Chain A
Amino acid sequence: MADPKEKFFRHFQAEVTLIQDEIDSLASLSAVGGERQSGIDKVLAGISRLSTEVMDARDFIPSYDQRAYSQAIKALTEKLNTTTGKFAPKSRFQFKPRKADTTTAQPQVTPDPRLHRPWVGDGSQDAEDTSQAVIEDEARDAVGTLPSIPSAKNYNEELARSGNVGGVRKPSFSTAKNIEISEHTGLHIMLPMTASRATSSGSLTDLTRCIVDMTIPTTTGAPFAGLALKNIKQSLIVAGQVAGPMHITGMEDSVIVVAARQVRMHDCKNVHVYLHCASHPIIEDCSQVAFAPLPAYYTNESTPPEKNQWDQVDDFKWLKATASPNWSILAEESRIVDDVWQHTVCGKAGMSSDDILRELKILTKAGPAFAS
Chain B
Amino acid sequence: MLAILRKARLKDKELRVLMLGLDNAGKTTIVKKIMNEDVNTVSPTLGFIIKTIEFEGYQLNIWDVGGQKTLRSYWRNYFEKTDALIWVVDATDRLRIDDCRKELHELLQEERLLGATLLIFANKTDVQGCMSEAEIMQGLQLKAIRSHQWHVLRCSAMTGENLKEGLAWVVEDAKLRLFLY
Interface of A with B (CB < 8 Å)?
A: 134, 136, 177-178, 200-201, 203, 205, 225-226, 228, 230, 244-245, 247, 261-262, 264, 266, 278-280, 282, 284-285, 304, 306-307, 314, 316-317, 319
Contact = CB atoms under 8 A, between A and B. Distances in A.
B70 A200 contact: no
The 7 closest A-B pairs by CB, nearest first: A200-B128, A177-B129, A279-B43, A280-B43, A316-B70, A225-B127, A178-B129
Nearest to B91: A201
Contacts of B43: 262, 279-280, 282, 314
A134 B71 contact: no
B92 interface: yes
B80 to A, nearest CB: 23
Contact of A278 (B41, B90, B93, B95): B41
B70 A284 contact: yes
Given A203-B95, A226-B124, A230-B95, A279 B44 contact: yes
A247 B70 contact: no
Contacts, number: 72
A136 B69 contact: no
A282 B71 CA distance: 13
Given A136-B129, A264-B24, A279-B41, A314 B95 contact: no
Given A245-B24, A247-B24, A284-B69, A200 B41 contact: no
Nearest to B70: A316
Given A225-B127, A226-B127, A316-B70, A264 B44 contact: yes
B89 to A, nearest CB: 14
A351 B41 CA distance: 40
Given A230-B95, A245-B24, 17 more contacts: A134-B129, A177-B128, A178-B128, A201-B128, A225-B92, A225-B127, A228-B95, A247-B93, A261-B41, A262-B43, A264-B23, A264-B24, A280-B43, A280-B44, A282-B46, A285-B69, A307-B41
A201 B130 contact: yes
A266 B138 CA distance: 27
Interface string B39-78: 0111110100000000000000000000011110000000
A178 B124 CA distance: 14
A195 to B, nearest CB: 13
Contacts of A134: 129
B71 A316 contact: yes
A285 to B, nearest CB: 8
Among B43, B70, B95, B124, the most chain A Cβ lie within 10 Å of the Cβ of B43
Contacts of A304: 40
B44 A314 contact: yes
A205 B95 contact: yes
A162 B92 CA distance: 30
29 contacts: A136-B129, A200-B128, A201-B92, A201-B129, A225-B127, A226-B90, A226-B124, A226-B127, A228-B93, A228-B95, A230-B95, A247-B93, A262-B42, A264-B24, A278-B40, A278-B41, A279-B41, A279-B44, A282-B43, A284-B69, A285-B69, A304-B40, A306-B40, A306-B41, A314-B44, A316-B46, A316-B68, A316-B70, A319-B46
A334 B69 CA distance: 32
Interface in B87-114: 90, 92-93, 95
Interface in B109-141: 124, 126-130
B41 A282 contact: no
A136 B68 CA distance: 32
A225 B124 contact: yes
A136 B132 CA distance: 13
A304 B41 CA distance: 11
Contacts of B95: 203, 205, 228, 230
B40 to A, nearest CB: 6
A356 B129 CA distance: 34
B70 A317 contact: yes
A319 B71 CA distance: 11
A188 B153 CA distance: 41
A226 B131 CA distance: 14
Nearest to A226: B92
Nearest to A178: B129
A162 to B, nearest CB: 25
A136 B131 CA distance: 13
A177 B132 CA distance: 14
Contacts of B68: 282, 284, 316
A76 B127 CA distance: 34
Contacts of A261: 40-42
Nearest to B130: A201
A174 to B, nearest CB: 14
Contacts of A136: 129
A177 B128 CA distance: 7
Among B41, B69, B93, B129, the most chain A Cβ lie within 10 Å of the Cβ of B129
Nearest to B126: A225
Nearest to B46: A314
